[in-house]
A and B are shown apart, each in its own frame.
Chain A
Amino acid sequence: MADTVSVPTPRPGAPAGRRRSPQARPHVRRDHRAALFFILPALLGFGVFYLWPTIRGVYLSFTDYSLLTPPAWSGVANYTKLIGDASFWRSLAVTLEYVVINIGVQTIVAIALAVLMHRLTRSSFLRGVLLLPYLVANVVVALVWYWMADYTLGVVNQFLGWIGFGPLGFFGEEHLVIPTIALVNVWRHMGYTALLIFAGLQAIPRSLYEAAAVDGSTEWRSFWRITLPLLRPVLAMVLVITVIGSFQIFDTVAVTTQGGPADASKVVYYYIFEKAFSQFDFGYASAMGVALIVILAGVSLFQLRLLRAGESDLS
């Protein structure tokens, strides 16, 4: 690992950095020594707990490994198994359903909230209140909604009763469980996402809105003609961040349904967790992890292309 993260020691003799005036040299060398001192703890932590596990994980994905005996090289066996594993594809489909509902609803709500805040008020109190759910642990959020959506005593079903709907088994029915978990996490993340978008909105000059209003444009038209086009680069970044996060849904599932009922909420993360820590199939779990990285990278690239994130219309 040390070879890949070139340790910045000043090598005497070797041409250290740029060759400039000779007087500058001692200074540069002092720089290097100080740099090593400052970067060392973080570099150590990064090497041991981020870089090495990543490399090790890729290696393990080509092995048969149960933690008890040393990993045995098995070539691409895990990957061929992966392609034929219906449970894996099912978990991927479940995750995708979750991501689509979660991101779809969350993005629309967050844009609406951000625009409303932007056009109505600068109150940071209001922004803070909307951010509150994001600061509370996933576990807490999951438990509160599990209680509120309880079939017999949950307040959500009481509300539904008042407007004439029968009680729903939000966490207990196969076709409802993923939408339910997706919406619970919309509740947790909508204020956070709105805040990121709000930051982007502040970069749009107010004069544009004033000019549009003088020309008789309505708020509604200004939103579609000014706000949304100019927000595109920010929106692209926010989407990439939130989609990556959304794919990693685990806590809510682990605390409430444990993948049930009948695997209806067994998302990829939970499936990997189960393979690794219930069945101790570390090789196969690592292979699924690699697949997840590839999928995430692909989805992110696709989004950035589609939304032309690099370009701005503001110029």
Chain B
Amino acid sequence: MSAREKILASLRQSLEGTQPLADPFDASLVDKPWRYCPAERVTRLKELMTAVHSEVHLTRSAEWPQLLHELLTQRQINRLLTAPSTTHGQAFSAYCQIQDSSLKLLAYDRPIEEWKRELFDDVPASFTGTLAGIAATGTLVVQPSPAEPRLMSLVPPLHIALLKASQIYDNLYQAQQAWPRPMPSNLLLISGPSKTADIEQVLAYGAHGPKDLIVLLVEDA
């Protein structure tokens, strides 16, 4: 008998004569305690994300490209990984052209195997969109895609994410209702830059992922 058959047979034997218990899920317990009005959603998300070392900038659709450019200049970052096929990627690239910026925009346009060394060593920052935000926990929902692959929000030391205020849900339960089905190959909740408290519970940021996370929160979108 295979391990599979053995395990399933043993479990079935133990359940003989019993009925499955009814689904006990009660949405009100995970939804009601975590509801906010639209203005509160923005302030709560900002407050919680700032508390875990993220920078949240409130901005507007017409202004964020300039803000992003300024933030990068302040940090003396001259290379940015963007997704040229996305609307936000195009908007920023257009802004850089008009400004005749010296910032070099890199694209994740080939399989990781072909440029792993460069991604690990020579990409100081990345800029991605987000699927949604969650006010209750101060969280970004990020869905990696062919345009913005999984490692884009993980390997570069600085991750900048664009979030529309209208996409902020009250809580995880509500956000989950809007997720694509079937589930995408990878879906991420990101609530700050990477961190650890494994030594003496002293909090240190930049454990294995980004050391910094900047959220551009677009209030009129």
Chains A and B belong together in one complex = no
Question: CB within 8 Å of B: which residues of A?
Answer: none
